[in-house]
């Protein structure tokens, strides 16, 4: 069974449909579009946490999600279902993710800078010959 992610605003409110409130446990959309379109009425679940943040950058609550029943639409970043089970990711784990992401971004920036400096040195050494 594959798991996905759901990011919501405070209080479980959907960013795109504030009348729909997500909660831990079984969530059922009242009127899902049963076609195979990716964007339509239904519960949208992200493939990765990064994808969830892309669609809801101001999210305050995060859930691990398991679809129940048919997946109506999908693309590389999300799926759309009519029903799912959500487990709330504790705030301390969300904070730990933010800290890990900051460390990774710093390491990435340092690696890029080091590689760029090496490319510049190599170019100047070729020109000096």
Q: Which band of pLDDT confidence, cut at 50, 70 and 90, is reported for residue 79?
A: very high
- pLDDT above 80 (res 98): no
Residues of the chain with pLDDT > 70, as a percent, come to: 98
At residue 100, does pLDDT exceed 80?
no
Listing DSSP states for the chain in one string gives ---EEEEE-GGGB-SS-TT-B--SEEEE-SS---SS-SSSSSEEEESSHHHHHHH-TT--EEEEEEE-S-EEEE-SSEEEESEEEEEEPPHHHHHHHHHHHHHHHHHHHHHHHHHHHHHHHHHHHHHH-
Instruction: Enter the pTM of the model.
Output: 0.75
Q: Which two tokens stand for residue 9?
A: 């605003």
pLDDT in tens, 16-53: 887 889 999 999 999 998 998 888 899 999 999 889 98
Of 39, 128, 46, 127, the closest CA to residue 84 belongs to: 46
In the chain, where the domains are located: 1-89, 91-129
Please, is 5 exposed, middle or buried when counting C-beta atoms within 10 Å of its C-beta (0-12, 13-18, 19+)? buried
- Average pLDDT for the chain: 88
């Amino acid at each position: 069974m594959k798991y996905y992610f759901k990011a919501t605003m405070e209080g479980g409110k959907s960013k795109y449909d504030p009348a729909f409130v997500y909660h831990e446990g079984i969530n059922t959309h009242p009127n899902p579009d049963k076609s195979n379109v990716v964007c339509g009425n239904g519960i949208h679940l992200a493939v990765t946490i990064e994808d969830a943040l892309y669609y809801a950058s101001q999210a305050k609550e995060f859930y691990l999600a398991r679809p129940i029943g048919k997946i109506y639409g999908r693309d590389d970043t999300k799926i759309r279902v009519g029903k799912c089970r959500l487990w709330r990711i504790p705030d301390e784990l969300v904070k730990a993710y933010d800290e890990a992401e900051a460390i990774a971004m710093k390491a990435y920036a340092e690696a890029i800078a080091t590689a760029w400096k090496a490319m510049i040195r190599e170019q100047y050494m070729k020109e000096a010959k």
